[in-house]
Amino acid sequence: MDVPDTRDFVRALAADNAAFWTDRGVRLDAAAAPAVRLEQIRYRMRQGVYNELRSVELIAAWIPWVPEREIRELLPGQLDDEHRHYQLLRGRLRELGEDPDAYRPLPEWAALFDWLIACRTRPTLEKLAMFQFAGETQSCDGFETLIALASDVDPITGELYRSQILPDERRHAGIGRRALLLCDSPAAQARARAACHEMNERISAAYHAHRARVDTRA
């Protein structure tokens, strides 16, 4: 069986991921009133504090299970980035008069990270297809939406995401793309594609639970 050029495979998988999220309605609402958008942005920031801290835990748990040196060497940098994002969001919430430690995550988000940490023994290509490629790419898209919708209700927070968080997230997604370029067999590409789909489904389920519980006024 002929194996497609791995660059073509990665481009096609990125298009599949983008198509998955089309019209799923899980992000912030451009049509919402400013007060509602501001509330949604604040919630996403509080959720982000939890997500960034769990991402530190996740990367630390994965590093010993990534034998490929060229990939493993990239992960400590991502761990440092996630911890810095955690501190940035905590600091911004304090500036806004909120206590970042008062937030209690929804069980769906806790379950998502528990599952990801438990995936540490899966093959490297599957892990990075799930988190760095599918997960971080979706995060980039979500942050771009947040930045745009914060422009009139909280431009300082929008700028924090634009200049200090989004560039790192794009680099993390790049780690996933680099790893997937190693998928040089039909079997490896099939596993990577299935892992991306599995991750997208789990993120979507967590987001919909988020919307059902929190964004009741959206």
For each of the chain's 218 residues, which pLDDT tens digit applies? 455 589 999 999 999 999 998 877 555 777 789 998 999 899 899 989 999 999 999 999 999 999 999 999 999 999 999 999 999 999 999 999 999 988 887 888 999 999 999 999 999 999 999 999 999 998 999 899 999 999 999 999 999 999 999 999 999 999 999 999 999 899 999 999 999 999 999 998 887 876 676 655 44
State the CATH architecture for 6-20+31-213.
Up-down Bundle (1.20)
| Spacing of C-alpha 90 from chain mean position | 18
End-to-end CA distance of the chain: 49
